[in-house]
Structure 1
Amino acid sequence: MWRRDHARQWRDIRLSTYNEFVFAYRQYIAFALDADAIISASPHPYKPDEMMPYFDEAGRPYREKLEATIMAVRLVSARRETADAAKELVDSARRIAAARATRTGQNVPTEFFDRMWQAQHKFMVSARQELGLSNIWQDTEE
């Protein structure tokens, strides 16, 4: 009985954490695509082909929330695949935000969004599997 309660508590913790992460990621993207968002970008210190986005004071809370929730996902994930998929999703969101530093939202390369949707799909499938939910997207793209 104790193990079942313990497993249920951890499932609830993970579900809450994943929900907060997805909410933070969606807010981050919404801010990055807002026409009034002030975003700058500079080369990533460790990845020469990547740019790092920087937000003004209005955008800082979105970045901080995304960073905090990705750390929480890494802390509570039972499967490495879930944490890796969340990281891939954050990297995709950052790539879009960095692209927005020099473009309007409509001019961000389509492949950046394609990668983000693929990363989102991976995260959702992995999180659902970890939470013991069915894979409702089994026959769709990976």
Structure 2
Amino acid sequence: MNIVNTAITGAVALLGVVVGGWLSIRNQDRSWERDHARQWRDIRLAAYKDFVVAYRQYVAFALEPAANISAVPHPRLPGELMPYFDQDGRPYKEGLEAASTAVRLVSESPDTLNAARDVVRSVRQIAAARATCSETALPPEAFERLWSAQAAFLLATRRELGLLAMSRGVADG
């Protein structure tokens, strides 16, 4: 009987070690997954913040009275103009393009990507309109499209980041 008791005790102890090791590995995996998700959330949040800063600076430059912007027909989108900036405006254009590319690189959500694309298109339309008129004569529809695109971008990014939904008024201009 002692041999059976010893064997059972050893088997139970070995089973306890196996189960304990498995639980430990499982907890470490979960912890790593949470840390990984948190790091990517922080990366996405930083990219989205940089994008918002870049497109707002782009628009602010386009609204400067001294801004020198020209526009030509877009090669692939009929009826749309493509803005060109001078040396002073080039950093804003490059900043927007870099931030937009970063969003495309890190985003997981097609809704976020589409909303970011709409924001870029809206700010480019504002700049293109600025090429043909003064900053005070810009069509209000261009800004309405931007505010709508901005609201969609904010809602999509909040949803992607797992944040609570916000009221419609908060997302506007």
Q: Aligning the two structures, in what range does the TM-score lie when normalised by the shorter sequence? A: over 0.9
Aligned to 1:22: 52
Mapped pair 1:98 → 2:128: yes
Alignment of 1:1-142 (within 5 A): 1-137=31-167
Q: State how far apart, in whole Å, the 2-side matches of 1:128 and 1:12 are.
A: 13
**Secondary structure at 1:89's aligned position in 2?**
helix
User: In angstroms, what is the RMSD of aligned CA positions?
Assistant: 1.5
Indicate if the aligned counterparts of 1:24 and 1:62 stay in contact, CA closer than 8 A. yes
> Is this contact kept in 1: 2:57–2:92, CA < 8 A?
yes
Q: State the structure with more CA Rg.
A: 2
Q: C-alpha deviations, 1:76-111, integer Å up to 9, x for none?
A: 001010011001000000000000001011211111
Deviation, structure 1 residue 112: 0.7
Shift of 1:55: 0.3
Cα distance, 1:48 vs structure 2: 1.6
Change (3 A) 1:105 1:139: closer
Cα shift at 1:117: 0.2
TM-score (norm 2): 0.79
Structure 1: gaps spanning 5 or more residues = none
Runs of 4+ in 1 over 4 A off after TM superposition: 138-142
Relative to its length, the structure with more helix (as a share) is 2
Q: In the aligned structure 2, how far is the partner of 1:78 from the partner of 1:138? A: 23
Aligned residues: 142
- Name the CA distance, whole Å, in 2 between partners of 1:106 and 1:122: 26
CA distance in structure 2 between the partners assigned to 1:4 and 1:102 by the alignment:
51
Identity, % of aligned positions: 56
Contact 1:125/1:137, CA 8 A, preserved across alignment: no
